[in-house]
């Protein structure tokens, strides 16, 4: 059995007098690729915060890469986690190569008085090629399309050779072509970095890579279903999660969802 990368047990989170998560369990193992789906306000971002060692639970336990939150140096732990956020707050006109290099230092901007080694530069260039941006290595961040930025951020997240990759709605703002290019890159990762586990947050089944192995459905702070993706993404479970009749279909490795009138709802 593969090593455990994430282990959340009976996690409760309260904020502002309200309970946002209610006894959530989640176990992710090395090489697994999880999708985290649910409507707005379900608690997905909060749950991803636990995975990224950014948030502590009110009660319950969270172990990330074998280390329990509350008993570990968070900065050290975060170096083993790659995070892809399409709202990356970069303000400088860095090149693609420079942006990917910041993944090694774990910073948004370039670190002063730091010089990457020849090995680090070679790895960065290899990652840039893997995400299809070799021709744009010296292109500046403001000139990149949203899709190119998304692929650059994936390379950046992988630069420090993480054991866990978190993707927070990575296709936000992308057109269809850019979305498909980014999903192709994510599918390729299952082969180029087979030991890396990932958790991808999205609202849309159509945005799941074909290599998605597991899924967790979250509604109103509670887990509706979790486990192997084919067992979780059913018409009945997705309908319950989004509180609307939704027909789920799987074809050619990709998932589709379409709303149905209540009278046509059927079990899957």
R_g (Cα) of the chain, nearest Å: 19
What's the pLDDT at 268? 47
- Residue 8 domain-assigned (yes or no): no
- Alpha carbon separation from 55 to 22, 39, 49 (Å, rounded): 15, 21, 5
- Residue 27 domain-assigned (yes or no): no
Domain tally for the chain?
A: 1
- Among all chains, which residue has been given the structure tokens 């027909």? 247
- Residue 98 domain-assigned (yes or no): yes
Integer Cα distance of 19 and 184 in angstroms:
37
| Cβ contact 262:247 at 8 Å | no
In tens digits, the chain (268 residues) has pLDDT values of: 789 999 999 999 999 888 999 999 999 999 999 999 999 989 998 999 999 998 899 999 999 999 999 888 888 888 899 999 888 999 999 999 999 999 998 889 988 888 999 999 999 999 999 999 999 999 999 999 999 999 999 999 999 899 999 999 998 888 999 999 999 999 998 888 899 999 999 989 999 999 999 999 999 999 999 999 999 999 999 999 999 999 999 998 899 999 887 665 454 4
Integer Cα distance of 149 and 79 in angstroms:
21
| Cβ contact 182:170 at 8 Å | yes
Q: 7: Cβ–Cβ under 8 A, 6 or more apart, which residues?
A: 26, 27, 28, 61, 62, 63
| Cβ contact 208:34 at 8 Å | no
Domain around 139? 83-161
The DSSP call for residue 38 is: -
* pTM score: 0.91
- Alpha carbon separation from 135 to 101, 159, 218 (Å, rounded): 17, 18, 40
Q: Is 36 left (phi over 0), alpha (psi -120 to 50) or beta?
A: beta
Got the DSSP string for 209-258?
A: -TT--EEEEEETTEEEEEEEHHHHS-HHHHHHHHTS-EEEEEETTEEEEE
What's the pLDDT at 86? 86
Look up residue 37 and give its two tokens: 């789906």
What's the pLDDT at 264? 52
Got the DSSP string for 6-26?
A: EEEEEEEEEETTEEEEEEEEE
- Residue 154 domain-assigned (yes or no): yes
The number of CA neighbours under 13 Å toward the Cβ of 156 is 31
- Residue 131 domain-assigned (yes or no): yes
- Residue 203 domain-assigned (yes or no): no
Q: 36: Cβ–Cβ under 8 A, 6 or more apart, which residues?
A: 44, 47, 48, 199, 200, 201, 202, 215, 216, 218
- Residue 39 domain-assigned (yes or no): no
- Residue 137 domain-assigned (yes or no): yes
3-state secondary structure of 96: helix
């Amino acid at each position: 059995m593969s090593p455990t990368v994430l282990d959340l047990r009976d996690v409760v989170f309260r904020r502002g007098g309200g309970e946002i998560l209610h006894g959530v369990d989640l176990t992710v193992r090395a090489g697994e690729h999880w999708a985290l789906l649910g409507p707005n306000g379900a608690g997905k971002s909060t749950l991803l915060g636990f995975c990224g060692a950014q948030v502590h639970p009110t009660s319950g336990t969270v172990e990330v890469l074998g280390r329990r939150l509350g008993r570990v140096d968070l900065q050290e732990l975060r170096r083993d986690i790659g995070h892809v956020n399409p709202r990356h707050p970069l303000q400088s006109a860095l090149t693609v190569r420079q942006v990917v290099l910041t993944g090694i230092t774990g910073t948004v901007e370039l670190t002063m008085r730091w010089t990457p080694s020849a090995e680090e530069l070679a790895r960065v260039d290899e990652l840039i090629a893997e995400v299809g941006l070799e021709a744009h290595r010296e292109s500046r961040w403001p000139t990149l399309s949203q899709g190119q930025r998304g692929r650059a951020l994936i390379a950046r997240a992988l630069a420090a050779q993480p054991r866990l990759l978190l993707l927070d709605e990575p296709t936000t703002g992308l057109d269809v072509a850019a979305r498909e290019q980014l999903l192709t890159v994510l599918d390729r990762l299952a082969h180029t970095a087979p030991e890396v586990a990932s958790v991808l947050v999205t609202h849309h089944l159509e945005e799941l890579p074909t290599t998605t192995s597991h899924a967790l459905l979250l509604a109103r702070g509670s887990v509706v279903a979790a486990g192997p993706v084919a067992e979780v993404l059913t018409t009945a479970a997705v309908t319950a999660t989004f509180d609307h009749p939704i027909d789920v279909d799987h074809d050619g490795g990709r998932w589709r969802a379409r709303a149905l009138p209540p009278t046509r709802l059927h079990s899957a």
